[in-house]
Amino acid sequence: MRYGRRGPRPPFPYDMEEDMAKTGAMNSKKKDVNKIAYLFVLPFVIVFLVFSVYPVLRTFYLSFTNYKGYGDAVWAGLDNYIRVFKDKFFWKDLWNTVKIWGVNIILQLGLAFLLTVIFSDIKYKIRGLAVFRAVYYLPNLIAATSVAFLFKTLLDWKYGSFNQLLLMLGITQEQVNWLGSTSTAPYVISVIGAWMWFGNSFIILMAGVQGIPKDYFEAAAIDGAGRWTVFAKITMPLLRPIMLYVFVTSLIGGLQLFDLPFLMNGVAPGTAGEPAGTLQTVVMYLYKFGFETHQVGYASAIAYTLFFIILIVSVIQFKTLGKEED
Amino acid sequence: MLAGAMVLGMTACGGTDNAGQGSTSGGDGAAAESGTEAGDTKAADTQAAGGDKLVIWTLAKDLEQFADHYKEQNPNVTVETVVIEPANYVTKVQTALNGGQKEPDIIVGEPQMLEDFYDAGYFEDLNQAPYNAQDYADQIVDYVWDVGQDAEGIQRAISYQITPAGIYYRRDIAKEVFGTDDPEEVGKLFADYPTILETANTLKGAGYRIFASDAEINYFSGDSAWVIDGVLNVDQGRKDYQDLCVALYQDDLTAYANQWSTPWYQAMAGEVPILSADIQNYADDSVDVWNAESFAEATAGMDKTEVFAFGLPSWGVLTMRDNVQGTSGKWGVCAGPAYGFGGGTFIGISSQSERKELAWDFLKFCTLNEETANWWIEASQGDTVSLIPVLEAHADDANEIYGGQKLYKFWLEQAQGIDYSKVTRYDKFIGDEWGRATTAIKTGEKNKEDAWNEFYDQVESTYPEITVNR
């Protein structure tokens, strides 16, 4: 319908439904509009079904078979899961992963928290938050391959800049073999991970702080509350849901760690997980069965065991952190 | 879910089971090839039955040359050769064929991959008409023919080359230290592991090193199967081999070069610096052994030596040819402590190909055609073909790099000693883990007991179907 100069102007705001009801066309038109909306979401739904739902369901099915990547998938019941539970290398690699993630999350959240406190402090009034946010987030945007290469070069035993710097400053007397020693290699990965992802945690925590009504802080200031009291009594409790979110997402990502340790030490054949298997994570173990020894059924069972472990730990986190909030 | 997504690549296309029973599709005008003698196959007779394009997936670049040669003789056929990194090759083939793809038409495999490929039904049954591969059995060296068969004895793939292993040694050093350069006599110096250790010590005393690396005997270490009737078999030979590696390393009997590194190649041409154990296992990376440019400078002040021998399969002839430089003519080849072989490219037809006639024509052209075999000997400058009539025809060829030695005759003899029944699908993994245990022992990272236990644990957890008796 075109409203010309001569025609009557519709009431403003224009109520299409009323207009349609008047003409009796509402029901059929509304249905058409709904159908078109479905068409718009269809591409996503198709991609989601094909690339997320189907693999997840099929992996679950395959975890009960002895599928090798070819031929028939013969039903094996719970055999693969029983094997996972008895497999000492699975548990060893899970422990490796937890160690790397544990140190990583402490550093990552600690740093993000410290920055959040500094940037949200009313007294400091730091300007250029957007710039800092972008700079801190940048490592997240660099491909893991580049990060691995960068740190491999920096941490090179003999010629790496990091060791040269330590020697120059007299902090160490000889080069430290960061990636070759079992006592340092896992924690190097933790630190690199923290460097990559603290910006992400910082942005989320900062958004959480900004979501806290200013009234609370003003009221606290009027009541004479100190900086620490404000942090402990207002910021921390109100940030708890956000912290829970950061913690759980970090756990999900952390226990699936693959790219960094694989690229740092495992690219050459037979070197995966070196030194002495300390960098072998659960997903690297899964990779070995899925892609190297072609035991897809067992790899699927490892994937689902990891999924259930993450699920259980997440639920525990929700129960403990969530409860305190109440 | 990253973990789930990782398995996606393996599973999403799964479920298609083509058990290799596919009948040969072919055009109406396809020439029946049954009963054709190997030497009679003329590429010019090619009937482009299922189309005039052929797609080859390979991990060996050799096939590019074969494809070019084939195109020269069949200008109407388009051949697309895709060379895939060995590390990605198996996964790529699996993904394509599990997904039901009609291309590639030709796939290849190395011995350790073949059993899985056979089970998966990727390779066409070559015993059926019109191929009737069994008619060519006596044309190809036995062990190569056997490697190309599945568990039921059905021919699935054929290789154009044989890869028996031998000890390549310096004749001049042999004469100086042992008073003879005769391959028979020098072979006695490598008769078994204790003798090799003795030989190594004698050479060290004379200022030489027996090998550049401590991995030179690897090709001869498989004198027994790793798995027999589902039970892990670590026989005395394996343990002796490990002891030898440890002694070579700990007693400074090698030049501490890693196989395929700069000093390893350099040792073929003469003097090399004697590196240290730390450099070899990368604990000391002051010398980059993989960088030929910086290597000379980094090792300038080190003691030098000359290396006596290399243990390599017959394709080592080509490696030596490219690297011997001034020592050309001073080399000989003798037998090692056991029969062994390394690698080899086996060609088969994809069971899902729609151009099987053409693929078969190409396969025959590469493996069963005397003209091609002769051409390949020239083109590769000395690779060892698997076609017996051609090997026999070249039996008296003298190779000047090896002081006029008749190498084809030697390789044929070595190939005849190979027992392929000792090869299992577990060899790569178990061999790698045994190597890892050996490294841990020789570098002092673990004692023998711990290293062996770790080895047994790894085998047990990776292949629960194998019984491990400790």
Cα(B324)–Cα(B460) distance, rounded to whole angstroms? Answer: 44
- Higher pLDDT pick, A97 / A180: A97
Cα(A180)–Cα(A92) distance, rounded to whole angstroms? Answer: 19
- Higher pLDDT pick, A228 / B200: B200
A294–B contact, CB cutoff 8 A: yes
Please report where in the chains the tokens 């494809």 appear, as a residue: B67
B432–A contact, CB cutoff 8 A: yes
What residues 123-162 of chain A have any CB closer than 8 A to a CB of chain B? 156-159
B151–A contact, CB cutoff 8 A: no
Instruction: State whether A256 and B15 contact (CB < 8 Å).
Output: no
Between the CA atoms of A311, A313, A317 and A320, what dihedral angle is there, to the nearest 10 degrees? 120
Give yes or no for residue A8 having a pLDDT over 80.
no
Question: Could you tell me if A247 and A261 are in contact, meaning their C-beta atoms sit under 8 angstroms apart?
Answer: no
Using CB atoms within 10 A of its CB, is residue B179 exposed (0-12), middle (13-18) or buried (19+)?
A: exposed
What pLDDT shows up at residue B168? 93
Instruction: State whether B282 and A55 contact (CB < 8 Å).
Output: no
What pLDDT shows up at residue B169? 93
What pLDDT shows up at residue B436? 87
A84–B contact, CB cutoff 8 A: no
- Chain A, nearest residue to B122 by Cα: A70
Please name the amino acid found at residue B442.
K
- Best mutation target among A70, A86, A89, A256 (most B Cβ atoms within 10 Å) is A70
pLDDT tier, A123 (very low <50, low <70, confident <90, very high otherwise): low
H helix or E strand, kind and range, residue B81: strand B78-83
Give one DSSP letter per residue of B210-276, joined into a string: EESSS-TTGGG--SS-SEETTEE---HHHHHHHHHHHHHHHTT-B--PPTTSHHHHHHHHS-EE---
- Chain A, nearest residue to B97 by Cα: A70
Cα(B384)–Cα(B339) distance, rounded to whole angstroms? Answer: 16
Tokens (6 digits) for B81: 């050769």
Q: Complex ipTM, two decimals? A: 0.71
Query: Which chain A residues are Cβ-neighbours of B15 within 8 angstroms?
Result: 73
What pLDDT shows up at residue B350? 92
What pLDDT shows up at residue B215? 81
State how far residue A56 is from chain B, nearest Cα, in angstroms. 6
Share of chain A above pLDDT 70, in %: 85
What pLDDT shows up at residue A51? 93
A174–B contact, CB cutoff 8 A: no
What pLDDT shows up at residue A98? 93
The CA-atom distances, in angstroms, between B355 and each of B105, B359, B362 are 7, 6, 11
Instruction: State whether B14 and A73 contact (CB < 8 Å).
Output: yes
pLDDT tier, A272 (very low <50, low <70, confident <90, very high otherwise): low
- How do strand B208-211 and strand B304-313 relate by DSSP bridges? parallel
What pLDDT shows up at residue B285? 65
Cα(B21)–Cα(B180) distance, rounded to whole angstroms? Answer: 56
Sites in chain B below the pLDDT cut of 50: 1-51
Summary mean pLDDT of chain A: 83
Q: What are phi and psi of B77, to 5 degrees?
A: -100, 130
What pLDDT shows up at residue B346? 93
Query: Helix, strand, coil % (nearest 5) of chain B?
Result: 45, 15, 40
- Nearest neighbour of B87 by CB, restricted to A71, A256, A269: A269
Of the candidates B2, B118, B150, B257, the residue with the CA atom closest to the CA atom of residue A253: B2
pLDDT tier, A297 (very low <50, low <70, confident <90, very high otherwise): very high
What residues 239-278 of chain A have any CB closer than 8 A to a CB of chain B? 253, 256, 258, 269-270, 276
pLDDT tier, A169 (very low <50, low <70, confident <90, very high otherwise): confident
- Chain A, nearest residue to B112 by Cα: A293
Instruction: State whether A290 and B12 contact (CB < 8 Å).
Output: no
Query: Which chain B residues are Cβ-neighbours of A249 within 8 angstroms?
Result: none
What pLDDT shows up at residue B284? 63
Q: What are phi and psi of B459, to 5 degrees?
A: -65, -45
pTM summary value: 0.73
What pLDDT shows up at residue B36? 35
Please name the amino acid found at residue B422.
K
Cα(A64)–Cα(A78) distance, rounded to whole angstroms? Answer: 6
What pLDDT shows up at residue B423? 75
B7–A contact, CB cutoff 8 A: yes
Question: Could you tell me if A240 and A324 are in contact, meaning their C-beta atoms sit under 8 angstroms apart?
Answer: yes
Provide CB contacts within 8 A for A31, sequence distance 6+: none
Cα(B38)–Cα(B138) distance, rounded to whole angstroms? Answer: 10
Please report where in the chains the tokens 């060995």 appear, as a residue: B86
Cα(B56)–Cα(B202) distance, rounded to whole angstroms? Answer: 50
Instruction: Give the full edge-to-edge strand order of the sheet including B346-349.
Output: B78-83, B53-58, B106-109, B346-349, B157-159
Side-chain-side CA neighbours of B3 within 13 Å: the count stands at: 32
Using CB atoms within 10 A of its CB, is residue B134 exposed (0-12), middle (13-18) or buried (19+)?
A: middle
Instruction: State whether B432 and A59 contact (CB < 8 Å).
Output: no
Provide CB contacts within 8 A for A70, sequence distance 6+: A294, B14, B17, B94, B97, B98, B116, B119, B120, B121, B122
pLDDT tier, A6 (very low <50, low <70, confident <90, very high otherwise): very low
What pLDDT shows up at residue A12? 52
- Chain B, nearest residue to A270 by Cα: B432
B333 bridge partner residues = B168
Cα(B177)–Cα(B186) distance, rounded to whole angstroms? Answer: 11
